[in-house]
Copies of this chain bind each other. A is one copy, B any other.
Amino acid sequence: MSSKKYNMWLQYQPILNTTCKKHYQKMLTTLYVNGNAPTIQSAEQELTDAIFTMLGQRITSKSDMDHATIVIGNIEEISSLLSNDHIARLAEMNEEGYLVIENQGKIIISGNSDAAVLYGVHHLLRNMQLEQDLISLAVFEQPKNQFRMLNQWDNLNGSVERGYSGKSIFYQNGKIVKDKTRIKDYARYLSSVGINAISINNVNVWEEESYFITKKYLPEIREIADIFRAYGITLYLSINFASPMTIDGMSTADPLNQSVQNWWKDKIAEIYHYIPDFGGFIVKADSENRPGPFTYNRDHADGANMLAKAFEPYGGKVIWRCFVYNHLQDWRDRTTDRARAAYDHFKPLDGKFHENVILQIKNGPMDFQVREGVSPLIGAMPNTNQMIEFQVAQEYTGQQIDLCYLLPQWKQILQFDTYIKGAGTTIAEIVAGTIHTYKYSGIAAVSNIGGDDENWTGNTLAQANLYGYGRLIWNPDLSAEEIAQEWIVQTFGNKKEVSNTLGEMLLNSWEIYENYTAPLGVGWMVTPGVHYGPNIDGYEYSKWGGTYHFADRDGVGVDRTKETGTGFTTQYAEPNQNLYNDVSKCPDELLLFFHHVPYKYTLKNSKTIIQHIYDTHFKGFEQVEDLIKKWDSLADLIDEERFKNVQNRLKQQKNNAREWRDQINTYFYRKSGVADKQNRAIY
């Protein structure tokens, strides 16, 4: 497959600026490649293909470095071309650091590893797509985060949990797909933004998927690992903690049981026989009905360490998810608070985990809501490796029907200062491992792609989230705007009007989505199970815990203060603890997440809660109408297929926004009895 919608941000469209094109054509004529590792081969292929498409010329291979206009290769191979200063700067960088330099008409791309060279090639190609000057180029880049991972929530039956782009590209009808072209293409896109790890099956590991770690599936999984390896991406698998029972009928999966430990040792040895650079396991244990160590009165450290020890000889990792909470809560119980759960479960275990265990913690204490506080567990365990988990898939944020560019949210989270080790203890620094000097750390996210939609992401504009995720976690200093602009130009070409209009659309879209959905950080209010569309009381009397808003005729919100509430605020370090605990200080956008307040309470923005609800919901809907106008104005600048795809989604978004607006406004009007000051239609 190759089409504009399929090619995402690697369009490699012909350069239209003629000056620029001539300049590139002149510079990029001959290529010398050092090494023949799969990643280097991928880099060469990408480079030659891209240059042919962009410049209309075939680059010729040279057999010596001196006469080539481009030289690529691992630092060990081509150091002779580099100055001592270059070599020194590369040496200061981590294994994935690269350089792209122009010197007297010759472009040199090198790095501390083969994969780094591939990243360097993509850097050059990105610059070209953005029509930037290559003269005197002197780029030295390394990723901020060690782990830059995607989690596929794909099931063997072909479905994708929380997938909004159709069926899996990995599995179909209970089998691994035979034709793996699309997996290879996916690997290309991921490597182009620096993703270096992937888990290829759902964290909810069902019966048949438990057998992924057996001979029944390993030969084919090896093929997938080979594909990803050629793009610098390490393969991981999600596993069923009770595998010894499910697979081999053992009577227990107790992590302290010797036979169980031996079983895992043998199992892991077997996996490495097939995949020598296998990454490790993702484990969702004792969470939402998944088995885990609790069954045997063991704790999470016992469970994770058993696996970690078995991985030791091979350098494999255990990524242990912290999404552990009581999902059978009685809504009548106002003392239990799901927001507290991850911290309460894991914080006491700090220092007990093996050094190749990494805890993976969702960005917020709840579950990928449009707005919630940052998880207080992140950074709170100085002696335990941690990763943060984002969700590129728009589960609670519009399901790739509604436009919601998530970069501003992720930026905000990464910039959040926890103060755990004083000012500057940001989430970005914690997960980069610079605060507590973790051995392993980084960022993971749930992927948003599928295979029914040729455009990968359902809504073409949702590609921006996948692109932006990779770019941001490579370099968290990039702004959401810079990333948006990079993505727009690569995806739709270099047209000012598209950049301006679409840039504005993307950057406002998270706020717009928030405006017409659950207000002021209270979260949920969505259709249970589906998680799309309004259902204000949908989770109000449910067993899922923490999903309650407690709206009554007087007020709304969840009291999480230490004095009268669940005490969740105490999980934050000062001054955040006080900031959130004190209703007069708490930021408006999180007020209802931390406090139960009267409808007539006045926000920092000088509006009452109730008037704020009305205003944002009327505004949110109008903003969607404006998004439609903006998009329509680009009709002549975007190919019809992608234009219609987005236009169609925006129409659906408008219906959704209308339902949200009217249901939220009606619900709170009926409860509060307070009229809208502007007397707009409430039902």
Contacts and interface: CB of A to CB of B under 8 A. Distances in A.
A672 B534 CA distance: 23
A662 interface: yes
Interface in A334-368: 334
Contacts of A535: 537, 541
Interface string A526-561: 000000001111000100000000111110000000
A541 B552 contact: no
A554 B536 CA distance: 19
A541 B534 CA distance: 9
Contacts of A672: 553
Main secondary structure of the interface of A (DSSP, over half): loop
A553 B670 contact: yes
A137 to B, nearest CB: 57
Interface string A425-452: 0000000000000000000000000000
A331 B552 contact: no
A241 to B, nearest CB: 30
Contacts of A331: 683
Nearest to A669: B552
Contact of A553 (B334, B537, B662, B671): B671
Given A331-B683, A554-B673, A673-B553, A537 B537 contact: yes
Nearest to A666: B541
A332 B683 contact: yes
A663 interface: yes
Nearest to A537: B537
A683 B551 CA distance: 12
A582 interface: no
A551 B536 CA distance: 14
Chain copies in the assembly? 2
A552 B683 contact: no
A672 B673 CA distance: 11
Interface in A666-683: 666-667, 669-673, 683
Nearest to A551: B670
A663 B667 CA distance: 17
- Central interface residue in A332, A334, A672, by most chain B CB within 10 Å: A332
A659 interface: yes
Contacts of A659: 541
A662 B662 CA distance: 27
A550 B669 CA distance: 12
Contacts of A673: 552-554
A673 B535 CA distance: 22
A667 B536 CA distance: 13
A334 B673 CA distance: 19
A544 to B, nearest CB: 14
Contact of A662 (B332, B537, B663, B683): B332
A185 to B, nearest CB: 36
Nearest to A674: B553
B541 A663 contact: yes
Contacts of A667: 537
Nearest to A333: B683
A516 to B, nearest CB: 15
Interface string A593-624: 00000000000000000000000000000000
Contact of A536 (B334, B534, B537): B537
Nearest to A550: B670
Contacts of A663: 541
Nearest to A552: B670
A535 B536 CA distance: 11
Nearest to A527: B528
A5 to B, nearest CB: 32
A612 B184 CA distance: 66
Interface string A628-671: 00000000000000000000000000000001001100110111
Contacts of A670: 550-553, 671
6 contacts: A535-B537, A537-B537, A537-B667, A553-B553, A670-B671, A671-B671
Given A537-B537, A541-B666, A553-B553, 5 more contacts: A332-B662, A536-B537, A541-B659, A541-B663, A552-B670
Interface of A: 331-332, 334, 534-537, 541, 550-554, 659, 662-663, 666-667, 669-673, 683
